[in-house]
Structure 1
Amino acid sequence: MRNGASRGLDELAQVAGKIRGAVESVIEGKPDAVRLALTVLLAEGHLLIEDVPGVGKTMLAKALARSVDGSVRRVQFTPDLLPSDITGVSAFNQESRDFEFKPGPIFANIVVGDEINRASPKTQSALLECMEERQVTVDGTTYELERPFMVIATQNPIEMEGTYPLPEAQRDRFTARISMGYPDPGAELEMLDVHGRSSPLEGLAPVAFSHDVRALIDVVRQVHVAQGVRRYAIDLITATRRHPELRLGASPRATLHLVRAARALAALEERDYVVPDDIQALAVPVLAHRLLPTAEAQVERRLPEQVVREIVDRLPVPTPHR
């Protein structure tokens, strides 16, 4: 059993390394962002990339999508986008004299949603069932979505003109949120050399197949999480619900996403078990976007990220004997 797990982790490391290398050939100077995106993919999650325009949000999403030879669809979210433009619609066929379903762009292995918070809340909510249950219901009929299924959405900060804040239920379905940030001068100089002539996405070829990703996801599911580490994750989640500066703590779904992502991160480290460090490394990207600060905390400009870091710093770490 142990040898089988070891072979699975070796294969995961090889395939994941190829995907990471392909994405990093397009995204310069952001290894942590690329690593987290890959972690979310292997955790069967969804990724929210939030930052100001022009820092590579869409480029990261497209690079990850093109690195895997599966079906990829892109949706540009705009204020006039309708829910049926995403999920699909039943249309009357004149020849058969019956209604037939025309699938929308959500029927893909990787769906890139660009500027998701420029669409109306009604259209944003069309993704809720898709992201959580991997299925779409249109006119009373349910259609399954093929594995792997991942939504990579980009959004601009809510203070940007023409944006609608994502509702709490929508944010809670994203496994992790990352901010790209501005590149350092060296990476930006290299970007001018590489991107100045042509888009590196044009030469990006797939390095893995969708069935490879399905196999890696099955390997991640076998990663062991000790009872002490599980309790540590729950203690961390519970602390967000009791924190005086938060009016909305993390949900039970957040607990599941945190542990699943920790399994994926451990597998990327070629370990078949999760350690507390995995939980700590993922706490901010997995939890912060789900939390709502109190009015007093907002006045003091206290961010949920700061609260999560403080909780992690003061929470006792389980020992191997606990």
Structure 2
Amino acid sequence: MEKPLISIVIPTINRYGDLQNTLNDLQKQSVREYEVLIIDQTDEKDFCSIHFPQTKHLHKTFKSASKARNIGLLEAQAPIVLFLDDDVIIETPYFLKNHIRHYEDMSVSGVSGAILNTDRKWNTHLPQRASHPYLGWIYTPRNYHKPLRISDGGAGNLSVRKEWAIGVGGMDEHYEKGAYREESDFCIRFTNKYGKLIYDPEAVLIHIGNPKGGIRSWKTGQGIIHAPHHMFGAWYFMFRNLPWFVWPEYSWLTVRRFILHKKLLKNFYLFPKAIYWFGLNFLKAMCKSINKPLFISTITHKQ
């Protein structure tokens, strides 16, 4: 095969059924000049070898979505790298084309595609807070129906220029497992240096959100309490990326997500445990943010 136009990086953990369906959908794309890099972190006892055309299957023993994406960046042969989740449905044969076409403009840094839930509903409302200079990306829906320029895209449907992504250090590997805000951390650094992403609703996929495997492999408290590494990620992102004067608003949004959500409020007996982990990971993130980030240029990738 000639050098691919686009390299597709898919981190995965024990989701072979979903992954195979995703690979089948990629086989139906109008663009044929692509490669797939699967960074598989499934335990050895559950590991299955995957054989698909144009696909390279790498088995790693660590558990880190950020590190997996960094490996994909380094291994990619194409100038454009597309990050995908392993549990997605791609219904349009022009999905890859709708990413690639934007890169004809050499000033374009990256493309964030629309991410729909399985109900396939679009959001036609853009909140006023979406224009906030520092936090607008939080209020911008991933399923908005019109094109935008945005600062943050979900890593389940995000393409970037390879060399530019490496130029900002790739993903910060201080984000453990599949931690909350890991892709936001990358996107904010990336767009601050190279300009905002194009949000293209025509580069659309459906995210299944399989409750088992992937980043949902570490649930706690019957799935009611968010996993500690997500709490860490939320606070670490704040300390690392946001100016102090927006911390109150961001902190309130974080408390609402992790503590004041319906499931936890209905199971109040779990409240002390949730508060303990929330506070502990606040302190952990504050301490960790003093250290240098674990960027792609400062690490050696080993199993």
TM-score normalised to structure 2 length: 0.30
Greater relative contact order structure (CA < 8 Å, 6+ sep):
1
TM-score normalised to structure 1 length: 0.29
Q: Which has the higher helix share?
A: 1
